[in-house]
Structure 1
């Protein structure tokens, strides 16, 4: 097997996100020799409360690793020649600390009385933080076999909110405030004889902090979409940025960080996007002379772990078998290395074809939370195509191992659910029209068909639960239900509510016009045009008195796909929200960062239809995404909200 010509200084690293999902130690230890054979040299462990800290009892959650168990994993890595870098978050993503009653006061966010809120992040100037950080670092120091510890600091968007921090920011600026925290942590880490790493994303927002940072630390620059030359910044409408020159000048080492897995609620990685993202970083790391490449993994709790591990195995082709680096070749080799079973090339093609049917983005994921926000006019063809695709793929005569077969079975359930719930909402509107026409025969026939659809969906739900359990079987504690199983149990309860509603209307047809489990008495329907992607959030509000507005639904526009990671797009998604009656005062508001346009804003009960815009007109909402500076997620003016008036 040919070796690559990669620079000898380019460290190849991978990450396990154990904070979101504790994996069985025996499973992880069996993977380590494989990673070593694939040429990986460092393992990063994202922990948070997944470990019991001897110096801070009560932080570790119920299923956390003991301190000794973590040592066992680190020792196994050492025997394989893999060095370990623990990640201990010490700014953003510190809910694992402030959830503890004794540490709640560390929170940067305060209520109107000055008390700590239940959610937030630690305050970098809190007088107790050095003590708490010191205990965490001390407990993890024995396991820093790479001589490094990573302190996180990413996505710290609550920076400078508490009174003491606002005062310092007013004096020395947000960059100086952030750099001060980095320097204080660096001193604590240095006293333990370790080097310190931080995620680099905050330096995009406060680049003035870079000259104030200590030399000798490592910045881990992450971006999870394919790119040509430079990574981009989502908050800046995907504008290109390059931190490397300034970091190099300051004597700060640089790692490039792609991702191997899935975003949030995706049950499968979007393999083509993930491999393209890795290729982008591999090329950039070589071009700029980076110190390392770290393939991160996040939120694998909704995946069968092997479905993400295969991406790490595929990435190894870049240094083990340099040459063709197309997605099919890389994934074929990755499947073979993982031992999934033949025919690897056919399986690779099938998984890449699944990218066109990905369960990705908030517009798809909202069905996980509620079933009454899908009563729209969008054709069902797309969802039926997904269902037919996964039916064929799940039944294919490939030698899928259990983890992949289970993941495909779970994805098939999601496709079945997409069709069932959307069809049910459309059937309610049809019932209302039949009732308005006093078509008794039509009502009875449709009602019977809806009952049969519910009966047909029930076995699909049972199969989905079985698949969710199988996804966990090899790598996780079988006694603990996972998030996917918990979600499907909620779906089972929703199906029972739906069946009771069907029984109710058989005795009382007038209930057809009231709110239902799959739609409201009235439904707001609109199209959202994500023409300049950033971090927009579309919010629907209802007035509850003469002055106050209350949010009744909201959704981010983020797609988590390569085609949406650009400055301009033509992405259009339908948004629907149940409304109790047509006289409700409503308004649309755009939060987060960026603009959207809306069109075809209507209100309907399935019979009557009110319009808020002429058919071909669009309404622009929100503020243009900035190109620099710290993201203000609360920025708004008259362009951010629109009071809906029916024509």
Structure 2
């Protein structure tokens, strides 16, 4: 069974020298193949408009592949050719490839390429020929994952109606295969679309490689999120069709996580290693995605720890595996202490959209939960960052986590400050307003110091392996935080001068605030929205959030997940509703509407009653994500 790892260079460019230094280390850890997720991060001589400004040149890419060869590692480029093809569509000369069209037939700015567009195979052939010299493992990976816009183009829609979705998808795979064969390469693809469209498997060419991925621990079979985490097993069908089966774990963070959830990443790797051995898989791949918000070395620790699966099978506990991982990446000194600390971080993980949306708005934390839990997390990470002998990227990452937890605590307290100032004003206790504002400014000053430190942490994390002249994603987030802090300070100062200004909207609390609890008992791909009707009758989205948690406790058919949803409202005069899109069902309850003084509850909705939204997720088949319009909604009348 081949042991492989993946670098995602499509989100950010890592310094070439750093990558070259890591290749012999991965070889020492027993890895044999390197998968490179590229998109527009490398030059394609045949399509010069695709590569971004800081992309690796052909000569630099050659240097990387030659270094891998010297280390005994073979390279497999990933050339996305269906889903995740925004890197092509962003080029104006290729925009017309888009599957998605406006009502007038013109291509939209975002989407994925259409399998039946007259130029698709021409573009695919150019990309494949440009990458063929770098396919030192004798294979190329064409992606094809998460292609949820399949069948939307008029050409695609007509073919799907005529021959069915399975034949439409398999037909495209076969056409790509005919492009790859003359290059002397085998073709690989992600297996998720085949889990959704299993009838396509018997129509696929023999000799393909299918990479089955699922990024949570599982007892026997991987699960499909879109099917309410129902088990599936593609291995028998692939074996019957002569398709090589691989299992794929994941090493890093999801989306905005500044640290991997270490224990869950290792449990996921163990699940896949066990399954790969049971199914006699062709290979085991440790994937890595979206590392631009992490220190690149922290997912490397997971890769190094996962190497215990074959180098040290007697070590199967997470603390022992992580100790080996830290030792392999940073040296033996302090490795056991770092491993224990890493596992402790999992209890305070900055994971899921309910936390991440604070990057974009601060009115989402005005619910009933107080600042206590977040403050405990901030103290934990602050103590961790101060520990001596902690590897530098781990220390900087812990410090950044301390800021994120402190930010939540700060905002939650600030929402209560708004409400208290409003009560002082409305009850005629204006003499207390100036005094209380002074008390509010003190934690603001302290938090600004924490923000300054977080800027240094974000810069350090980024500059360790990337171009320091480029601003990191977290630096952008911190810039937005600084702007909100400035607005919050101005709100406080204005309120001190005139207590009536306390009734104005602030960054942390609107003129009015709608809050409710979302109960996610059957995880899938749900999306919650709050909408308000305009004077012309149209509905405007005020806030929206996916319910995905990206945690093992949420990756199961039945769960008990409760999350606050809070959004500021300018005027209570216009109708409001809570809506659901996506796939699956939720219940909502404990709806309140308040300006901080007056508390309103919906008519005919008892306090303890939950209202169901949506329908159960399908247990099989290709889903209609239904993200563009509501599946269900409940009106709010106060």
1:581 aligns with 2:574: no
Uncovered stretches (5+) of structure 1, i.e. residues with no partner: 1-9
Q: 1:294 aligns with which of 272, 285, 308?
A: 285
- Cα distance, 1:356 vs structure 2: 0.3
Q: How does 1:35-434 map to 2 (within 5 A)?
A: 35-340=26-331, 342-397=333-388, 399-434=389-424
Return the offset for 1:507.
2.0
Give CA-to-partner distance per residue, 1:227-253, whole Å, 9 cap, x none.
Answer: 000000000000000011001100000
Kept in 2: contact 1:341–1:400 (CA 8 A)? no
TM-score, scaled to structure 1? 0.97
- Supply the distance in 1 between the matched residues of 2:59 and 2:376 (Cα, whole angstroms): 50
1:623–1:636 Cα contact (<8 Å) kept: no
2:529 pairs with 1:539: yes
The residue aligned with 1:602 is: 592
Between the aligned partners of 1:289 and 1:374, the Cα distance in structure 2 is 48
What is the distance in 1 between the residues matched to 2:107 and 2:63?
A: 37
Partner of 1:517: 507
Matched residues in 2 for 1:635 and 1:89: separation?
A: 23
- 1:341–1:401 Cα contact (<8 Å) kept: no
**Segment of structure 1 superposing worse, 240-249 or 377-386:** 377-386
The answer on whether the counterparts of 1:543 and 1:586 sit within 8 Å (CA) in structure 2 is yes
1:413/1:240 Cα in 2 relative to 1: closer, same or farther (>3 Å)? same
Distance in 2 between residues matched to 1:482 and 1:378, nearest whole Å: 31
CA distance in 2: counterparts of 1:582 and 1:196, whole angstroms: 57
Distance 2:439 2:396 in 1: 30
- What's the CA shift for 1:498? 1.3
- In the other structure, the counterpart of 1:643 is 635
Partner Cα distance (1:547, 1:280) in 2? 51
Distance 2:432 2:209 in 1: 69
Distance in structure 2 (CA, Å) of the matches to 1:320 and 1:80: 18
Question: SS of 1:373's equivalent?
Answer: helix
2:370–2:413 CA contact under 8 A, matched in 1: no
State the 1:476 CA deviation. 0.7
Q: Give the distance between the partners of 1:126 and 1:521, measured in 2 at CA.
A: 50
- Whether the 8 Å contact between 1:622 and 1:636 is mirrored in structure 2 is no
- In the superposition, relative to structure 1, how do residues 396 and 122 fare at CA in structure 2: closer, same or farther (>3 Å)? same
The DSSP-based 3-state class of the residue aligned with 1:331 is helix
* Contact 1:234/1:535 (8 A) holds in 2: yes
**Pair 1:40–1:638, CA change in 2 (3 A):** closer
Task: Give me the whole-angstrom Cα distance separating, in 1, the residues matched to 2:76 and 2:227.
Answer: 31
Matches within 5 A, 1:627-638: 627-634=619-626
Query: Which whole-Å CA distance do the structure 1 matches of 2:577 and 2:625 have between them?
Result: 19
Aligned equivalents of 1:573, 1:375: Cα separation in 2: 12
Residue 373 of structure 1 deviates from its aligned partner by 2.0
User: Normalization by structure 2: what TM-score?
Assistant: 0.98
Question: Any runs of at least 4 consecutive aligned residues in structure 1 with deviations exceeding 4 A, and if so which?
Answer: 635-639
The answer as to whether partners of 2:370 and 2:412 remain within 8 angstroms in 1 is no
1:528 aligned residue: 518
User: 514-523 vs 296-305, which deviates more?
Assistant: 514-523
- Measured in 2, the distance between the counterparts of 1:304 and 1:112 equals 43
Question: 1:143 offset after TM fit, Å?
Answer: 0.2
Once the two structures are TM-superposed, the CA of residue 401 in structure 1 deviates from its matched residue by 2.2
Residue in structure 2 matching 1:488, options 452, 461, 478 = 478
State the distance in 1 between where 2:628 and 2:21 align. 52
Any conservation in 2 of the 1:587–1:641 contact (CA below 8 Å)?
Answer: yes
Instruction: Give the aligned CA root-mean-square deviation in angstroms.
Output: 1.2
> Quick one: distance in 2 between partners of 1:229 and 1:415?
35
2:437 pairs with 1:442: no
Question: In 2, are the aligned partners of 1:19 and 1:49 still within 8 Å (CA)?
Answer: yes
Instruction: Name the CA shift for 1:369/1:67 in 2 (closer, same or farther; >3 Å).
Output: same
Aligned residues: 636
CA apart distance, 1:546: 5.2
Aligned to 1:454: 444
Moved more, 350-359 or 408-417: 408-417
User: Is 1:566 aligned to residue 551 of structure 2?
Assistant: no
Q: Secondary structure at the match of 2:543?
A: strand
| SS of residue matched to 2:247 | strand
Task: Give the alignment of 1:611-622 within 5 angstroms.
Answer: 611-612=601-602, 613-622=605-614
Write the deviation string for residues 563-590 of structure 1: whole angstroms up to 9, x where unpaired.
1101111110000010112222001111
Q: Distance in 2 between matches of 1:481 and 1:114?
A: 37
DSSP 3-state at the match of 1:202: helix
> Is 2:453 the partner of 1:463?
yes
Provide the secondary structure at the position in 2 that maps to 1:258: strand
CA distance in 1, matches of 2:163, 2:293: 43
Equivalent in 468, 481, 490 of residue 478 of structure 1: 468
Distance in 2 between the 1:415 and 1:183 partners? Answer: 49
CA gap 1:553/1:637 in 2 versus in 1, 3 angstroms: closer
**How big is the shift at 1:635?**
8.1
C-alpha separation between the residues in 1 aligned to 2:400 and 2:532? 36
Between the aligned partners of 2:64 and 2:285, the Cα distance in structure 1 is 19
Matched, 1:623 2:600: no
Q: Secondary structure at the match of 2:252?
A: coil
1: CA distance between counterparts of 2:436 and 2:428?
13
5+ residue gaps, structure 2, are: none
Taking structure 1 as reference, are residues 481 and 638 closer, same or farther at Cα in structure 2, changes over 3 Å only? closer
Q: Distance in 2 between matches of 1:474 and 1:517?
A: 34
Separation in 2, partners of 1:113, 1:585: 32
| TM superposition shift of 1:638 | 9.2
1:550 is paired with a residue whose SS is strand
